[in-house]
Amino acid sequence: MTNTAQRLAEIRGDVPPKRHNARTIAALTGNPGCTRRAVLDGAGVDKPKLAERVGFPARFGQSRFAITRGNAFEARVKADGGVELLRLVAERLGVPVPAAASWTDLGGAEDLPDRHERSRAALTAPGDDAALFDHPLLGLSVAGQRVHLEPDLVAARLAGRFHVVEIKSFPVVDGQADPAKVSAAAIQAAVYVLALRELLAGQGRDPELVSHEVVLVCPRDFTNQPVASLVDVRRQLLVLRRQLDRMDRIEDLLARVPAGFTADPTADPATLTAALSAVEARYAPECLAACELAYFCRQEARARTGAMGRPVREALGGVADVAEALALAAGERAPQPERAEAAALLRAAARLRAEALAGDPA
C-alpha cells in the first residue's frame, strides 16, 4: 500500500471505501473549491453515516416508493432483451430499427478488475452490428485517483456510434420534464460519455464514436409507457472536463489536511466535528441538493456571506463575514483597498433598501 493509500485508509477508518458513481462525481466537480468534499470523496468516506454521526443527517434521496417505481419502469423498458428499448432509441435517433441486436449484461460480478476488463473487451470489440450493453463498468480519474463507475445505464451501439441511454423514472408531461431533474440527468450522463470516450481512446479507437447526444427514457404522462428524448450534453462535457482538470491531485489535497485528521463514522462526534472544522469547506446553498454534509456546513457557515450563494460571495469580493459586510454597508468601517469596490456595492445596496423602506406606505 502506498503512503497516499495508507493515509486515505486512515481518514475513512476501518471500513472499505465507498464507490463513486456519476452523481457523486457530478456533485464533486460542481464545487471544486471545496477541499473538505474532495478529501472525503477521495478517501471514499461514507458521508451519509458521517453526517448522521455529527448530528446533521442528509435530507435528500429517493423514497422507497420512488425506487420501487423506478426499478419497475426500468425492468419494463429492458424486457425481452431490450427489444422496445432498441426501438425507442433507433426511432429517436432517426435510424432504421434493426431487426435484431445483441444484449450483453456486464453487471453482477463483484470482482471490479475482472468486470472492468469484460466491459472493456465488450465495448471495444471490432464490429458495428447493433448492440446493447447493460451496466458496463467504466473508469475515470478523480482527484488523481482512478475510480470505477458503476452506471445504471445502457450503452447502445447503432449505425456505428455509441449512445449513452439513461432510464429515469421522472415523468415527461405534455412533452416537458422537470428542468432540474433533466439538468441533473444531463451532467451525470456527461460523466458516462466522458468515461466511455476515455475507454475507447485507451484502446486506440476514435473517442468521437461516443455521441454527445444522450438518449433519456422516461415515463410519459405518469403512465408506465416509455418515451425517449435526446439531450445534447456538449456543454456539460466542457464543464466536466474543465472542473476535473482544475481539481487538485489527491496528494496536494492531503497536504492541506492536518495530521491525524479522521472522518471515521465510528469516531466520537466531538472529535469528528473538530476534525471536519479543521478542513476548509466552500459551502453554497446549492450544496443542499448534492452533498450529504451540506447541513453541517450550512450551520458552520451561518455568519459567512457564502451561505447566501456563490453570486453573493463573488460579488462581495472577499468580504467573507456577514458582520463585516453589514459594517461596510453602514459606513461604520473603512474598507481595505482590495475591498473598496465591494464596500461601494454594499453602501449602494443599503441606500436602495433605505429608500425602498421610506417609500413603503406600510
311, pLDDT greater than 90? no
The set of cell numbers assigned to 356 is 425602498
165, 135 contact by CB (below 8 A):
no
Q: pLDDT per residue over 163-193, tens digit each? A: 999 999 899 998 899 998 898 899 999 999 9
What is the average pLDDT across 31-41?
85
- Do 105 and 152 touch, CB atoms closer than 8 A? no
Give me the mean pLDDT over the 132-153 stretch: 82
Task: Identify the band that residue 325 occupies on the pLDDT scale cut at 50, 70 and 90.
Answer: low
Q: What domains sit in the chain, N to C, each tagged with a CATH number? A: 4-19+28-57+249-303 (no CATH), 64-240 (3.90.320), 310-358 (no CATH)
95 pLDDT band (50/70/90 cuts)? very high
The secondary structure of residue 98, as a DSSP letter, is: P
Query: With bands split at pLDDT 50, 70 and 90, how would you rate the model's confidence at 69?
Result: confident
CA angle 124, 125, 131 (to 5 degrees): 90
Closest CA relative to residue 10, chosen from 254, 293, 281: 254
What's the whole-number average pLDDT of the chain? 85
Q: What is the mean pLDDT of residues 65-81?
A: 87
Cα–Cα dist 89/96, whole Å: 10
Task: Check pLDDT > 60 for residue 362.
Answer: no
* Residue-wise pLDDT tens digits, 225-283: 999 999 999 999 998 888 888 776 788 888 889 988 999 988 999 999 999 999 988 88
Beta-strand relationship, 161-167 and 213-219: parallel
